[in-house]
């Protein structure tokens, strides 16, 4: 197997889907997402569920993990973080379908869930 080049910080490593003729979904569960609240500077913790039906391109998981870690020291809202991740995956993967769901832990008695979906040919 050829080695996969380590991407620059925040860049995704992409590779060819060997089964583009099939509709199959890929679920990625991210259990330890962290960013900073832009109002208080306090850490926000979340779980992300990323599900996509690939077309021609797949994402290498270690590069996805490293990309998500770039949020660790950033002050960013839940909505902006989820939308930014969604945009990055949509542009790079060009999937048939994509859902990104950020489930942010309870702070101040409230939890937040932000979900975006794309369906090729319907959006």
Report yes or no: 13 and 88 within 8 Å, Cβ to Cβ.
no
44 is catalytic: yes
Active-site residue, selected from the candidate residues 37, 55, 80, 123: 37
How many C-beta neighbours within 10 Å does residue 65 have?
A: 12
| Nearest by Cα to 112 from 83, 82, 78, 86 | 78
35 is catalytic: no
Active-site residue, selected from the candidate residues 2, 27, 35, 44: 44
Report yes or no: 95 and 118 within 8 Å, Cβ to Cβ.
yes
Catalytic residue IDs: 37, 44
């Amino acid at each position: 197997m050829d080695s996969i080049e380590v991407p620059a910080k925040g860049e995704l490593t992409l590779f060819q889907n060997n089964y583009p003729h099939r509709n199959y979904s890929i679920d990625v569960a991210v259990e330890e997402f962290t960013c900073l609240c832009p109002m208080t500077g306090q850490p926000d913790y979340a779980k992300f569920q990323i599900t996509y039906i690939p077309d021609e391109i797949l994402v290498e998981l270690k590069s996805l993990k490293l990309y998500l870690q770039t949020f660790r020291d950033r002050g960013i809202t839940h909505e902006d973080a989820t939308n930014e991740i969604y945009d990055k995956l949509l542009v790079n993967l060009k999937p048939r379908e994509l859902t990104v769901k950020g489930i942010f832990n309870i702070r101040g008695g409230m939890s937040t869930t932000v979900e975006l979906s794309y369906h090729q040919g319907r959006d």
